[in-house]
Amino acid sequence: MAKYKRYDYRQRMLIPVSLEQQLMPGTLEFAIHTLVEKRMDLSVFDDKYQNDATGRSAYNPKILLKVVLLAYSRGLISSRQIERGCYENVLFMAMSCNQRPDHSTIAAFVSSMKEQIKLLFADILLVCDQEGLLGGSFFAIDGCKMSSNASKEWSGKFSDLHKRKEKIESKLKALIEDHIEIDKEERAVKEKLSARRERQVRRLEQQADKIEKWLNENDKKIGAYGKELHSNVTDNDSAKMYTSHGTVQGYNAQALVDDKHQVIVCGQAIGQGLDHENLPPVIDGAKENLECIGKDKHYFEGKVLTADSSYHSVTNINKCNEEKLDAYIPDNKFRSRDHRFASRLGDGSKSKKFTFADFQYDEDKDEYICPNGKRLKPLVKDGRHKGKRLRVYRSREKDCHHCQLRAKCLRYKNAKRRHFTYYADASGNNISQAMVKKIDTQKGRKIYPQRIGIVEPVFANIRVNKRLDKFSLRGQIKVNIQWLLYCMVHNIEKIANYGFR
């Protein structure tokens, strides 16, 4: 008969554990511990605590920051999961020095780092610079749309929210009328149904009051073109965004990345799905971060910046010109002009409208020549729109009236003439068209494809490896804190892997 050693899972053991030895050099947790202890200034939190004379001792911000960064690096975003890790996981025990902050303390610490988070991010960026991880010559920007702790169903224009409130009140009225009818039924059935109806009535009353209170306290959100945007009752800073995986209610997480080791120079969570106006705040934030680590305010002059076609707008290109950036931002049709994509795009046999590229520019006369040889002359006086200079060119009506190419040239059947309207720089050049020509050069086609290898792996690391699939907080300030913490984890990992000290 076989004989085995006896075992019992109910037995208890005392295991001697050295907390310091759990943090092995070369690991990400060791890098987090070392950087927070020795290279980051956490005295910025001292003013938040006024318990030197009375009150209990608070958890050291170093402990809380270490635990949060370790949790985010392991894909744990919930404060309750972080609390449980401090009780059950030896690595978390070592990082917290066997202290066990509760979930409310952790959540309050994360959501309250309003101004401190920028200084902490700059501390890590300074270490990246000192470790030689910043190239400082080539940058790429992109955004990742992620849902937040906001309900997509509670989104809409003010008129939609008023209709929803009326619908809830109508349903509430119907429930109350049914509730009165129940009184005529048997007592046992009445008590059972009445309790359920009361809960429904209470819930609908709360929803109606919530919408009414929100409408009274908030104003309409107006977009760049003066049209009303969708508001959200649960988180009005968020926006409804369209992604390849469906529509989400959340934020567009922006990252400006240095090409040498894919270090994030600036991160911002913006409640705007389209990237047409997202580049200026990110560039300004990057300049602020770089000035904090001792860089010159003209740091971006002459540096290369790449962005995808969603950033091709007058606002973004103007910002690049102001900062003297060597920017490469293609338009939506740049692939159709590239012979390398001819096999994917087909032979182009379908009839298409003439575009701006089909018109030749006569620089001496400041006129455009259409495919039929007719000229478009500029208006005597340039227009203005939102502080930007507009240039308008238009043809003569008699030239377009009997033109054989009219169907391919004019946008509408009843149009009388062809015209161009574009934003111009100080010299009168078309800002967008100048960028199009730059992208179509041999240099532009060589530089732009490098973008995908710089910025896309950053989002892959944060979303896949660190498992950030949604933001757990509400409000742009708090969501931005969470996004910057993940950016810090990414940069710390670069220090752990590529730092030479």
Strand 246-258 to strand 138-147: parallel, antiparallel, or no bridges (unpaired)? Answer: antiparallel
Query: Average pLDDT, whole number, for the chain?
Result: 89
Instruction: Measure the CA angle with vertex 157, ends 152 and 158; round to 5°.
Output: 120
Average pLDDT over residues 404-411: 86
Q: Is the pLDDT of residue 47 over 70?
A: yes
Q: Which of 355, 352, 400 is nearest to 376 (CA)?
A: 400
* DSSP 8-state assignment for residue 243: E
Confidence class of residue 199 from pLDDT cuts 50, 70 and 90? confident
Q: Taking 90 as the threshold, does the pLDDT of residue 467 lie above it?
A: yes
- The pLDDT value recorded for residue 49 is 86
Distance in Å from the first CA to the final CA of the chain: 61
Structure tokens at 188: 């046992």
| Nearest residue to 124 via CA among 134, 114, 113 | 134
Count other C-beta atoms under 10 Å from residue 15's C-beta.
5
pLDDT given for residue 342 in this prediction: 63
Counting every residue, how long is the chain?
Answer: 501
Is residue 370 within 8 Å of 364, Cβ to Cβ? no
158: Cβ contacts below 8 Å, ≥ 6 apart = 215, 220, 228, 231
pLDDT confidence of residue 457: 96
Is the confidence at residue 270, as pLDDT, over 90? yes
pLDDT digits (tens, 9 = 90+) for 411-432: 787 888 888 777 777 666 788 8
**Mean pLDDT of the region 453-477:** 95
Q: What confidence category does residue 1 fall into, taking pLDDT thresholds of 50, 70 and 90?
A: confident
For residue 501, pLDDT beyond 70: no
Q: What does the pLDDT read at residue 387?
A: 63
Domain boundaries, the chain: 19-112, 129-149+242-333+446-488, 158-219, 340-429
Inform me whether the pLDDT recorded for 36 exceeds 90: yes
Q: Phi first, then psi: what are they for 43, rounded to 5°?
A: -70, -10
- Give the C-alpha separation, 154 to 161, whole Å: 8
Coil, strand, or helix at residue 486? helix
- Count CA atoms within 13 Å of residue 396 on its CB side: 7
Residue 500 confidence (pLDDT): 64
Which DSSP helix (H) or strand (E) runs through 376?
A: strand 375-378
Tell me which amino acid residue 467 is: R
Topology (CATH) of 129-149+242-333+446-488: Nucleotidyltransferase; domain 5 (3.30.420)
Is pLDDT of 196 > 80? no
Tokens of 391: 């240039």
CA dihedral 100, 105, 110, 116 (to 10 degrees): -100
Please give the average per-residue pLDDT across 88-110, as a whole number. Answer: 95
Q: What is the mean pLDDT of residues 344-360?
A: 66
Smallest CA-to-CA distance from 68 within 86, 82, 54, 85 is with 82
Task: Read off the amino acid at residue 214.
Answer: W
Whose tokens are 């495919």? That residue is 371
Nearest to 293 by CA among 328, 258, 255: 258
Say yes or no to pLDDT of 349 above 60.
no
Instruction: Give pLDDT, residue 122.
Output: 97
- Mark residue 293 as left, alpha or beta (left: phi above 0; alpha: psi -120 to 50; beta: remaining): alpha
| The pLDDT of residue 194 | 67
High-pLDDT (> 90) share of the chain, %: 60
Q: Which residue has the higher pLDDT, 191 or 237?
A: 237
pLDDT digits (tens, 9 = 90+) for 150-170: 998 899 999 999 999 999 988
* 231 pLDDT more than 80: yes
The percentage of residues in the chain with a pLDDT greater than 70, rounded to a whole number, is 92
Q: Poorest-confidence range of 153-167, 193-207, 292-306?
A: 193-207
Point out the least confidently predicted range of 61-65, 416-420, 434-438, 451-455.
416-420
Mean pLDDT of 324-330: 96
CA distance 160 to 282: 33
Contacts of 448 (CB under 8 A, 6+ apart): 306, 328, 330, 439
Q: What is the pLDDT of residues 121-134, one digit of tens each?
A: 999 999 999 999 99
Q: For residue 64, what pLDDT is reported?
A: 97
Confidence of residue 334 (pLDDT cuts 50, 70, 90): confident
Residue 368 has pLDDT above 70, yes or no: yes
CA distance 78 to 61: 18
Copy the structure tokens of residue 45: 């939190």
